[in-house]
Every structure is written in structure tokens, then in C-alpha cells.
């Protein structure tokens, strides 16, 4: 079956037929004086979208001027439906005199990617300064229609909060995807770049419809063949991909191997200060831009988890990043340099070394040292995409450095798309976190959009969750995370619930019963997942390597384990300045004191910051041990409840989606029980404290 392939661009027929009739009349024609591929894509999307939603597609008029005529489009046969009726104008102000007339002087504030929509007197006008702005406006109109907003008067002005709205594919040329849970790659197969252009175009449509404008198409761990992507061996095929994404306003980036001058270029060194190394990268940049004039730049994982980097040559991150930035600068390219740098060989007896401190310790001293076309990409938390972590203290701490926040859409530690875990509420918590960089008005969302420190560049990056599965994400409801990520990158003020509702209505159609049930399930899911997995912010209780399923000591008792320090007396990692690793002191202003203090530290992060006795009382009034038992019993029950709630939608959602999701909900319910039992028995046997409510603990 094909269910799920069209995702949130399904354009379901409107159920309300009266409205539908009226709407299709409102959109009898569509016209533009733009002739480029992007505006054409906008027109195609509107024609198809309105056509399937209302059962009658707008007729494409040759030019906006024709459409303006008293009798409607002149190049059509006289026809009641296309007569002097209402229609849609779409395009750029520069090319469309009618749009300039309609919007007048208010258009300046739209910027390069914004758009305005005005519906009045029968004409729905979508205007922008650029073709891609018009495309975003077209997708916005379709979203409004699909979610049931069908006003005859509309007045909308939108522009993205963030300049960079990027997706990272962790795809490998062998067709595998690192941390991919939805099949193999849509970009590569059997050590070749091998793709179906129609599928890539559909991916580009999905991404552009949410506002994504950049994509790094290969894994940050760039292996042997991928290291050659910057050469003529692969550039022709990569240019074909770039051409597809270009139509949808998405710039292509490549993840590079810092040691490529050696491994690919045959040089004796990759030292960023070496003249031959610099020349080698300049030549690669020239070759790339000859093939891809709007190439976005390089994404770099260096000196991290055994990847090569400038440290080998006694150089720092700034020297490494700046060398690459210099090579790209003349062409308008960026270096996106990841801050996921830590010592992965930490001895548990050493209570001062702390992986959580690493990004801040490495990068803060470099503030101001990076060139203007370098952006640091900082994971949302200091560890690694756990279900609960504090916000990275590096976000906002650097005043003279461009930064993007990195999220993980793929659910590596959050159920691997076998469990339902709608991550938008987690990302909202991060974005709304008050960093105190400038007193009380510097939440993360204002740091990364550049406004707190007056940075020209900033935004979002995230690891994609799609693969070759027909429905893109394996779990049909995991599509909501990709959708939600794009929407938040465009506008971080949107609520998690509003995004869930938009997604559900577009994906499953205008049946309220379905949308309400799906929204409720999505909104409950993160809390449910957190309840039956690692408690109170401590994280890491997963099976090593593949990271699925419970294993309390899997990492703790490997060679380098320093994750929860559970013993017979208590649990948690002391990260205070007073007696621990000092990590709490990396926060600005009052935040440092809040985390330092037992009494003030929020319950949900207690074990991240403090090692406490099992009998320690939380703000909730429960002891830590009783909290662990209660949340695990409750979480497993609520996971079972998700399966029942989904089952109530049988016949109301497409059968393929229904079956795919039901199988996963059943697996989730089983695995939640396993989590419950393993975590509970572990802590019962460590602490010897029984459950106050006498439930079964093995």
C-alpha cells in the first residue's frame, strides 16, 4: 500500500461538501508572471492540492495580466467555472505588477524568505520578494485549507525566525543510515549515489512545506568513499541532487572528512595551517562551486569519537574551521562545525572529568575566534539526545560566535520509531529555556536566531528520521517529528499542540475524532516514554551500541562508565561545583545556583546534577525510590493505553497506517513492561526499599 507516502501533503478531500463547493469556486484560476521553476512548483502544488481537496483544480492562466481581465483568463474557453470569478495570484513582486498593486508598500519587512497572503474581493494573492518566498506562501495557504481555515478574507504576513533551517542526513553510501529506523537510504545504494529523482523531489516538497532550507546529504561520520564526495568522482551526481533541492529553496551541504587531504588528496598531512592543505581545500571548493553554484558548505565532525581533526597537528577547532571557511568564503559557503567533542574514555574513579562539561570547555575559550561564515552546531543537551537532559550551557554563552542548536529527530534514545515519542514538547522546553545571557530576555530561541548577541547567522539543525520505508519514518506517527521540527525552525513560538493538530489534520484529513485522538496521544507520548525509561534526568540506561531497550548498567559497567553511579545508598551524578564535576557552574547567572542546589534543582533533572540517597524527598513529596516505582508502573500502563487509543481509530485512518502503527504500539506496550520490570528490580535490589504500594517487583 501507499498510505503514509504523501504524509502531511496528502490533500485529503474536504468532508464538508458545502464548504468544498464554495471553496472550489473561490479558486477557479491561478496565475503568475514568474517563469522560474520554483514558482512553477508552487503553482503545481496549489493546483494539485486544491484539486484533490475540493474536487476541482484551479485552471492555470498564462499570465497574471490575463487573469486580471474582466472575463477571467482570456486564454481559456469561456466557461462558467473560469469566468469572471475568484482565483489565486502567486509570485514575486518584481515580476507581478498585480501583486505590487495589491500589497503596496508593506512588503519590505518580508525579507528574503517571507511571504504575504491577502484574500479580498475574490482574489487570493500570495506575494514575496523571491520565488522561494512565494513557494512558502503556497504551502502555507494549502496548510490553512487542509486544516479547515477557509476565510474569504485573509491577511497574513510571515517570515522565518531563523536563517538556517537545516536537516542532517546520517546516510552512508552503502545505503545504511546511522541511527536510521525507517529502512535504507533514499540517496545511496551499494556504494553508489543511487536515487529515484521523484522520491527526492517528494522529500524536498515535504521539507520545503515546513520551511527547511538546507540539507547535508551524508553522515557526519564521513567514511572512505564519502570522503571523496568533494571530488569529480561524485560531484556530477551530487549536482543532480542539488538541482532537485534547489527548486524547493533547499541548499545542499556535504559532511567532510577533515583528513581528506591525506586520504583523498595523497598529501602527507591535513594540518590546517599547511599551505598545500589550504590549497587542496580551495581547489575542492572551486570544483564544487563549478558543479553546484549555490552549494551550502561543509558540515564537520572533527576530533570527536575518533574522527580526525586539527588536534592531531596541535591546532585548535578555530584553526580547523577557519581554514575551511576561507576556502568557501569567496563562494558564499558556510562551515558548520559541530561541538559534539568529548573524551569518550573516561575513568569512573575520576570524578572531575565530565562528558557533560566538554563542549563548553572546548569551545567557550574560542569565542570570537571563528570567521563570519563559520557556525557552531551545538547539541541541545550536554550529553547526547537523551529523553531528558538540561540545556547545553554553551548555548548563549558565546557572544561573538554564530551558533545553531542541533536536535535529533531520529529517535535514537527515544524509542527508535518503535515507540511513540513526539519530541516537539522537548524541543520547546529547550527553546524556551532562559539562558540568562542578557538578564531575563535571552531564551535559547533568541540566542540561535541571532537576536540576543546580534549575530547575522544562526538557526536550527537536526538529524533526519526518514528512510526508504514507504511512509518515510517507519512509525506513521513519527512523521509528526519531522513536520514539527521544520515548523519550529520557521516559528519557535508555535505551540507543540498547535503543531500536532496541524499535522494530524493534514495527514489524516478533517475528521475531528481522529485529529483529537492523535493530538492527545502525541501530546502524552514524551511523558509516557520518560516515565518508563531512565528516571529524573539520569539517562543512559539503554543497551550499549544500538541503544534500544533497557540495560541499567550496560554503559555504567563498561570500561568508561560514568553515567548514573547507582549503589546501595543512592543514585545520580554529582555535577555541583561544591563537591562534584563543577558542571553546574557552567550556567549563567541564577541558573548555576538553581542547579547547584539540592533544594532548587527541578525534580526532573535531579539525578543529572546530584547524587542523592534513595530516601531523598522530591518536590513532589515522593522519595526518589518511590518516584521510580510509581512512574514505571504508571508509564507501562499508559503505554498499553496508547495501543488501545489507537485501536479505537480502526476504520478511520488508512488501513496501512493503522496496521503499521498498531504493531508498533503493541511492541511499545510490551517493551514498556520490560523497562518497568528491569528498572524497578534493579533499584529494589540495590536499595532494599520495598514499594509502598506492594506491587510486583521481581
Residue 301 makes contact with ligand GCU by CB under 6 A: yes
Residues 6+ apart with CB under 8 A from 679: 532, 533, 534, 535, 541, 550, 552, 628, 632
Min dist CB 192 to ligand GCU, Å, is 23
Handedness of CA 33, 35, 38, 41 (dihedral sign): positive
Min dist CB 94 to ligand GCU, Å, is 42
At 243, list the grid cell.
538541482
Residue 384 makes contact with ligand GCU by CB under 6 A: yes
Residue 346 makes contact with ligand GCU by CB under 6 A: no
Residue 407 makes contact with ligand GCU by CB under 6 A: no
Our CA dihedral for 337, 342, 345, 348, rounded to 10 degrees, sits at -160
- The nearer residue to ligand GCU, 304 or 591, going by C-beta atoms, is 304
Work out which of 178, 194, 527, 659 binds ligand GCU, going by CB under 6 A: 178
Which of 542, 541, 497, 538 shows the shortest CA–CA distance to 519?
497
Residues 6+ apart with CB under 8 A from 57: 47, 48, 50, 51
- The nearer residue to ligand GCU, 177 or 628, going by C-beta atoms, is 177
- The nearer residue to ligand GCU, 335 or 452, going by C-beta atoms, is 335
Return the residues of window 97-136 that contact ligand GCU according to CB under 6 A: none
Min dist CB 76 to ligand GCU, Å, is 54
- The nearer residue to ligand GCU, 301 or 475, going by C-beta atoms, is 301
Task: Report the SS3 class of residue 281.
Answer: helix
State the number of binding residues for ligand GCU (CB under 6 A). 8
Instruction: Verify whether residue 106 is a known catalytic residue.
Output: no
Instruction: Verify whether residue 389 is a known catalytic residue.
Output: no
DSSP sequence for 38-79: HHHHHHHHHHHHHHHHHSSPPEEES-HHHHHSTTS-TTS---
Residue 340 makes contact with ligand GCU by CB under 6 A: yes
Min dist CB 617 to ligand GCU, Å, is 34
Cα 257 to chain centroid, rounded: 23
Instruction: Verify whether residue 412 is a known catalytic residue.
Output: yes
Query: Strand 123-128 vs strand 87-92: parallel, antiparallel, or unpaired?
Result: parallel
Task: Report the SS3 class of residue 506.
Answer: helix
Min dist CB 221 to ligand GCU, Å, is 5
Maximum alpha-carbon separation in the chain: 85
Do 529 and 411 contact (CB within 8 A), yes or no?
no
Query: Strand 29-31 vs strand 154-158: parallel, antiparallel, or unpaired?
Result: unpaired
Residue 317 makes contact with ligand GCU by CB under 6 A: no
- Which residue among 75, 97, 101, 305 is the active-site one? 305
- Backbone angles phi and psi of 158, in degrees to 5: -135, 140
Residue 179 makes contact with ligand GCU by CB under 6 A: yes
CA atoms of 102 and 118, how far apart (whole Å) = 8
Task: Report the SS3 class of residue 678.
Answer: helix
- The nearer residue to ligand GCU, 223 or 617, going by C-beta atoms, is 223
Residue 241 makes contact with ligand GCU by CB under 6 A: no
Min dist CB 2 to ligand GCU, Å, is 31
- The nearer residue to ligand GCU, 9 or 300, going by C-beta atoms, is 300
- One symbol per residue from 633 to 672: x for binding ligand GCU (CB under 6 A), - otherwise; what is it? ----------------------------------------
Residue 220 makes contact with ligand GCU by CB under 6 A: yes
Min dist CB 385 to ligand GCU, Å, is 7
CB neighbours of residue 543 within 10 Å? 12
Work out which of 52, 176, 221, 470 binds ligand GCU, going by CB under 6 A: 221
Do 339 and 362 contact (CB within 8 A), yes or no?
yes
Residue 511 makes contact with ligand GCU by CB under 6 A: no
- The nearer residue to ligand GCU, 367 or 384, going by C-beta atoms, is 384
Min dist CB 358 to ligand GCU, Å, is 13
- The nearer residue to ligand GCU, 301 or 564, going by C-beta atoms, is 301
CA atoms of 423 and 100, how far apart (whole Å) = 41
CA atoms of 669 and 606, how far apart (whole Å) = 27
- Which residue among 271, 412, 434, 530 is the active-site one? 412
At 202, list the grid cell.
517528494
- Which residue among 36, 194, 319, 384 is the active-site one? 384
The residues binding ligand GCU (CB under 6 A) are: 178-179, 220-221, 301, 340, 384, 412
Q: Hey, which residues are catalytic here?
A: 305, 384, 412
Amino acid at each position: 500500500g501507499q498510505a503514509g507516502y504523501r504524509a502531511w501533503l496528502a490533500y485529503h478531500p474536504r468532508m464538508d461538501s458545502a464548504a468544498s463547493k464554495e471553496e472550489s469556486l473561490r479558486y477557479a484560476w491561478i496565475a503568475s508572471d514568474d517563469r522560474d521553476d520554483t514558482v512553477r512548483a508552487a503553482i503545481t502544488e496549489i493546483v494539485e492540492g486544491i484539486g484533490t481537496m475540493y474536487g476541482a483544480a484551479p485552471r492555470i492562466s498564462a499570465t497574471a495580466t490575463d487573469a486580471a481581465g474582466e472575463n477571467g483568463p482570456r486564454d481559456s474557453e469561456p466557461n462558467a467555472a473560469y469566468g469572471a470569478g475568484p482565483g489565486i495570484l502567486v509570485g514575486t513582486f518584481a515580476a507581478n505588477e498585480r501583486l505590487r498593486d495589491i500589497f503596496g508598500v508593506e512588503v519590505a519587512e518580508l525579507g528574503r524568505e517571507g511571504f504575504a497572503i491577502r484574500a479580498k474581493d475574490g482574489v487570493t494573492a500570495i506575494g514575496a520578494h523571491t520565488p522561494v518566498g512565494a513557494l512558502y506562501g503556497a504551502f502555507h495557504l494549502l496548510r490553512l485549507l487542509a486544516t479547515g481555515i477557509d476565510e474569504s478574507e485573509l491577511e497574513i504576513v510571515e517570515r522565518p525566525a531563523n536563517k538556517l533551517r537545516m536537516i542532517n542526513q546520517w546516510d552512508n553510501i552503502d545505503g545504511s543510515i546511522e541511527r536510521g529506523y525507517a529502512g535504507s537510504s533514499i540517496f545511496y545504494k551499494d556504494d553508489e549515489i543511487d536515487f529515484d529523482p521523484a522520491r527526492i523531489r517528494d522529500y524536498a516538497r515535504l521539507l520545503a512545506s515546513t520551511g527547511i532550507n538546507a540539507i547535508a546529504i551524508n553522515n557526519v561520520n564521513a567514511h572512505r568513499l564519502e570522503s571523496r564526495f568533494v571530488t569529480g568522482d561524485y560531484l556530477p551526481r551530487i549536482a543532480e541532487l542539488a538541482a532537485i533541492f534547489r527548486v524547493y529553496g533547499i541548499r545542499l551541504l556535504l559532511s567532510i572528512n577533515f583528513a581528506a587531504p591525506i586520504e583523498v588528496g595523497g598529501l602527507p598531512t591535513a594540518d590546517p595551517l599547511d599551505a598545500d592543505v589550504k590549497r587542496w581545500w580551495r581547489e575542492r571548493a572551486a570544483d564544487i562551486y563549478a558543479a553546484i553554484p549555490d552549494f551550502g558548505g561543509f558540515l564537520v565532525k572533527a576530533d570527536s569519537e575518533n574522527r580526525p581533526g586539527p588536534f592531531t597537528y596541535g591546532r585548535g577547532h578555530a584553526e580547523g574551521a577557519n581554514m575551511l571557511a576561507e576556502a568557501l568564503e569567496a563562494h558564499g559557503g558556510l562551515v558548520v562545525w559541530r561541538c559534539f567533542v568529548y573524551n569518550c574514555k573516561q575513568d569512573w574513579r575520576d570524578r572531575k572529568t565530565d562528558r557533560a562539561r566538554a563542549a563548553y570547555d572546548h569551545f567557550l575559550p574560542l569565542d570570537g575566534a571563528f570567521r563570519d561564515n563559520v557556525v557552531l552546531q551545538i547539541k541541545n543537551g550536554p550529553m547526547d539526545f537523551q529523553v531528558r537532559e538540561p540545556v547545553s550551557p554553551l548555548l548563549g554563552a558565546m557572544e561573538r560566535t554564530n551558533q545553531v542548536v542541533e536536535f535529533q529527530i531520529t529517535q535514537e534514545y527515544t524509542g527508535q520509531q518503535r515507540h511513540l515519542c513526539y519530541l516537539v514538547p522537548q524541543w520547546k522546553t529547550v527553546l524556551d529555556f532562559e539562558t540568562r545571557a542578557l538578564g531575563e530576555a535571552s531564551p535559547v530561541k533568541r540566542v540561535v536566531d541571532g537576536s540576543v548577541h546580534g549575530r547575522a547567522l544562526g538557526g536550527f539543525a537536526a538529524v533526519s528520521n526518514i528512510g526508504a520505508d514507504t511512509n518515510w519514518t517507519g512509525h506513521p506517527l513519527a512523521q509528526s517529528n519531522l513536520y514539527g521540527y521544520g515548523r519550529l525552525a520557521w516559528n519557535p513560538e508555535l505551540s507543540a499542540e498547535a503543531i500536532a493538530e496541524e499535522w494530524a489534520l493534514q495527514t489524516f484529513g478533517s475528521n475531528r475524532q481522529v485529529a483529537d485522538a492523535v493530538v492527545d496521544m502525541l501530546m502524552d507520548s514524551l511523558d509516557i516514554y520518560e516515565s518508563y525509561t531512565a528516571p529524573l534526568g539520569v539517562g543512559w540506561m539503554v543497551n550499549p551500541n544500538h541503544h534500544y531497550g533497557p540495560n541499567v548498567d550496560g554503559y555504567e559497567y563498561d570500561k568508561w562508565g560514568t553515567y548514573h553511579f547507582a549503589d546501595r545508598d543512592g543514585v545520580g551524578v554529582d555535577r555541583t561545583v561544591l563537591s562534584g564535576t563543577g558542571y553546574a557552574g557552567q550556567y549563567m547567572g541564577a541558573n548555576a545556583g538553581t542547579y547547584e542546589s539540592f533544594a532548587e534543582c527541578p525534580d526532573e533533572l535531579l539525578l543529572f546534577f546530584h547524587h542523592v540517597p534513595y530516601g531523598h524527598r522530591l518536590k513532589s513529596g515522593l522519595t526518589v525510590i518511590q518516584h521510580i516505582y510509581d512512574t514505571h508502573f504508571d508509564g507501562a500502563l499508559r503505554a498499553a493505553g496508547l495501543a488501545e487509543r489507537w485501536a479505537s481509530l480502526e476504520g478511520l485512518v488508512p488501513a496501512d497506517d493503522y496496521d503499521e502503527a498498531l504493531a508498533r504500539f503493541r511492541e511499545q506496550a510490551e517493551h514498556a513492561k520490560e523497562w518497568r520490570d528491569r528498572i524497578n528490580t534493579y533499584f529494589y535490589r540495590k536499595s532494599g526499599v520495598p514499594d509502598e504500594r506492594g506491587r510486583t517487583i521481581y
